[in-house]
A and B are shown apart, each in its own frame.
Chain A
């Protein structure tokens, strides 16, 4: 962490407030930063992440667009080409799909297709994930699609302080960054967040809890789930090391491998569908680089290969909870 602000000066914030704070600082620091999307202006976003910013910076810097995700991303690409720093909001990650052509065909490859004559310092923010009983299509976790797209960085914070420091890094990164915000975490957690501009570098995982017996690798909305499972395991005498990746691209394989080499056991947790998910990439990295250290097969705790269920009564069946993660920890311990 490179702190330009005093480390002692902090303010207690929710994650959505920390994101708003980061956007505010970014707009104040650089005229090139522009925020746009559906409802981000007058309304301040459906989750209020952009609350008050249009009033403070004007309708040219923070503006509502027509309702069309492909054009939001596509227009942002043009703005980035012309030297602005576009920060687009896609209202829910599950609404990103109309814009995927722009993301896959252009956003990820613009630097490459122009041999760095042009680059796109664009951030796309999107609330993602389940756990808050949203309507159909509002709880998807499409991060693996982005991580699989060359040229795109993928950031998924799990705490307010991380969200602010990572978002400021993302906005100031010369390359396109997808910034997924777990809806479940927007207001459920408060913590002390440093005041002023500070950055958390992309590509550095965070060791949440240390332990010698099992490594649990997760990110975003699954970190608090893993922490609960770890606490339960801890009380049964099992030492769990929880690693919050924070960024999927670049991926901090060093932290993952160092931990697995120590514990010899790995559980990977996401709430995304199982087949082809980013959990599979993490599992493959461990299998390729550290299989000789493993004392048990790698276990993935994930969603299922079905659309995320919009049925409140059974949402917990799909979305991993602490019980499922604890069972996985138990299974690798008992192998």
Chain B
């Protein structure tokens, strides 16, 4: 346990100045390494550096958890990569890729339990998969099939939100409802750096603080809101500090270090469960891919913008770590990758079997009982079908 979420200001302090009281950093050498890593990472919480070095800034999760996070990142990346191919084959609709942001999504969502709420944006397929949204249903969603819209009964994950930041107040309400019902369940909502310009973002943080809602707000700073870079989006350079204006803790974490995102999110979730209120977590990452599969980033982005981010790849970073620690071998990884690929292909077959909706279904689910107006409009569609 570090003090990253409980004492956000001290999180930003250099470990060399404020010695973390944790058994994971027993030596001065580890401290020096952590301090150097902090410098390099630009004042963010980080547990492993891009080259796989352990910073010692906090305790690593157990090997089994590390392996599970790797599995989840591989699952997410496989979806993203196969998604591109399927889109080009006309077998998937336009979808927003998230490759390169797996640590930001998997590490945060993995900190939740199945009874918690997840409010994802359109770019958070990886987070939804991690919480347990079945791949077939996820494919159906991005195929615009109704089978992908009704979320599974055993999960409280909402359909991907298209409007920006509007789900933040929803998370506050769901969190408050859980609190009123006396559960320990929390609500987690996602947003991008662009979304933090929206009024809903600010209103939600203020409400959550004032009403002490058990919420965890994830702000994935991936550098771009379609063509607008963060530097054009805002004068602010550290978006986690926005939390201070609402009296809640803010944490800045290396969004490409899955062990770090998992660590700080778990702390924030536990804080919320203990009744200590909301936390804002800024995951600093990068949208390596275009805004959507239909977008052309060469119109607004240069190679210089992208430089250095491949080396920070979140999947390869954990891979290096797991191999060097002996938690995974190349053989066991090969088996894992095969399992991931097989799972996806089976899910694709399942999704292929979903029937298309009937035309009159567009009028379903407007109200619990259709109004007389909807009934007449349904008859109109049915009679036009016959004609």
26 contacts between A and B (CB under 8 A): A63-B211, A65-B210, A66-B207, A68-B203, A70-B199, A71-B200, A71-B203, A74-B203, A75-B207, A77-B170, A79-B173, A81-B177, A82-B181, A102-B166, A106-B163, A106-B166, A106-B170, A114-B158, A115-B146, A115-B149, A116-B364, A117-B150, A117-B153, A153-B367, A173-B368, A253-B372
Give complex CA distance A251, B373 in Å: 8
Which residue of A75, A118, A174 is within 8 Å of B172 (Cβ)?
A75
Contact check, B210 vs A78: say whether CB atoms are below 8 A apart: no
CB of A84 closer than 8 Å to a CB of B: yes
Interface 1/0 per residue, A306-331 and B, CB below 8 Å: 00000000000000000000000000
Which residue in chain B gives the minimum CB-CB distance to A71? B203
Give the A-B pair count, Cβ closer than 8 A.
Answer: 140
CB of B366 closer than 8 Å to a CB of A: yes
Residues of A within 8 A of B365 (CB): 111-112, 114-116
Interface footprint category on A: 35 or more
Contact check, B150 vs A78: say whether CB atoms are below 8 A apart: no
Which residue in chain B gives the minimum CB-CB distance to A74? B169
Interface pairs A-B: 4 shortest CB-CB: A78-B173, A74-B169, A82-B177, A115-B150
Give complex CA distance A67, B149 in Å: 33
Given A70-B200, A114-B158, the answer on whether A77 and B373 have CB atoms closer than 8 Å is no
Residues of B within 8 A of A65 (CB): 207, 210-211
Contact check, A82 vs B368: say whether CB atoms are below 8 A apart: no
Give complex CA distance A70, B206 in Å: 12
CB of A76 closer than 8 Å to a CB of B: yes
* A→B interface (CB under 8 Å): 34, 60, 63, 65-66, 68, 70-71, 73-84, 86, 98, 101-102, 105-106, 111-119, 150-151, 153, 173-175, 203, 249-251, 253-254
Which residue of B149, B169, B187, B366 is within 8 Å of A102 (Cβ)?
B169
CB of B204 closer than 8 Å to a CB of A: yes
Give complex CA distance A78, B166 in Å: 11
CB of B43 closer than 8 Å to a CB of A: no
Contact check, B166 vs A101: say whether CB atoms are below 8 A apart: yes
Give complex CA distance A114, B158 in Å: 8
Residues of B within 8 A of A73 (CB): 169
What 15 new A-B contacts, CB under 8 Å, besides A117-B151, A150-B366, A203-B371?
A63-B211, A66-B203, A71-B206, A75-B172, A75-B173, A75-B207, A78-B169, A79-B174, A101-B163, A102-B169, A112-B365, A112-B366, A116-B364, A251-B371, A253-B372
